[in-house]
Amino acid sequence: MLPKNVPVPTRLQKRPLDERGFLITYVTTIGTDGKPDFRIIDHFKVIECIEERICGLCGESIGPLVSLIGGEECVVRRQFSDPPMHPECARYASQVCPFLTNQNAKYHNRDNPPAGIEVFSLPHISSQRPKRMAIYTTRAYDIMRFRTPGSRMVHCAIKPQKAVLKLEWF
C-alpha cells in the first residue's frame, strides 16, 4: 500500500496500482499473466531509461536535473546501475520503497526469477542493501556498456558527472 503520509509526486500519480495498492513503476516487470512482478526490474526498460534519459519510476522524460540512487560504493566509484530518475521521484522512492527504506531488506531474489526472465548481475554488485544509500543529483552522465561472455544481454551503467549538485544520504 502507498503510505498515506508521504505525498505522491504528480508524475507518479499517473502510474497504475496493483490489486494490493502498490505503485507499478515504469521498470517493474509485467509477467505473462499481465501482473507486475516486483522482485525484478525489466532489463530492457532500464536500458531504455538510461539511453533515452527517461525516469525509471514514472516513465517520463527527465529535465535538466537527474537523480541516481546507490550505496556508498556507487557514489565513490561514480557508477550506478539503477535507472535515472526525476529528483522528486527519487526522493519519493527513498521514502516509500520497501527495499530502499528497510535496512534489513534483501536485494531481489535473482536466483529465482520469474519464468522467461534472464537475470544479469554484475559481479561487483552486492546482494545486500548497503548500510546507507544516497540520492546523487547531477545534470549529465555518460553511459557505460558491459557484455558478459556467453550472454546476449548488454548491461548499461551510469557514470554521472563529477560535479554532484546535491548528495542526500538516507
89 binds Zn ion (CB under 5 A): yes
Interface residue with Zn ion among 86, 91, 108, 155 (CB under 5 A) is: 86
CB of 151 to Zn ion, least distance (A): 29
133 binds Zn ion (CB under 5 A): no
Site track for Zn ion across 33-72, x = CB under 5 A:
----------------------x-xx--------------
Query: Hey, is 122 helix, strand or coil?
Result: coil
Local structure of residue 149 (DSSP, 8 states) = T
Closer residue to Zn ion (CB): 93 or 162: 93
Query: Hey, is 18 helix, strand or coil?
Result: coil
Alpha-carbon distances, residue 134 vs 9, 28, 157, 159, 168 (angstroms): 19, 21, 16, 15, 5
Which residues, in sequence order, are bridge partners of residue 82?
none
| Residue 62 Cα to chain centre, angstroms | 14
Q: Which residue has the cell 530502499?
A: 100
State the amino acid at position 135 in one-letter form.
Answer: I
State the amino acid at position 52 in one-letter form.
Answer: E
Stretch in the footprint of Zn ion (CB under 5 A) among 5-13, 24-32, 97-105, 119-127: 5-13
Residues 44 and 56: their CA atoms lie apart, in Å, by 11
Contact between residue 66 and residue 138 where contact means Cβ atoms under 8 Å apart = yes
Stretch in the footprint of Zn ion (CB under 5 A) among 25-33, 67-75, 82-90, 142-150: 82-90
- Residue number of the CB closest to Zn ion reads 55
Closer residue to Zn ion (CB): 57 or 75: 57
- Site size with Zn ion, rule: CB under 5 A: 6
Residues forming the site for Zn ion (CB under 5 A): 11, 55, 57-58, 86, 89
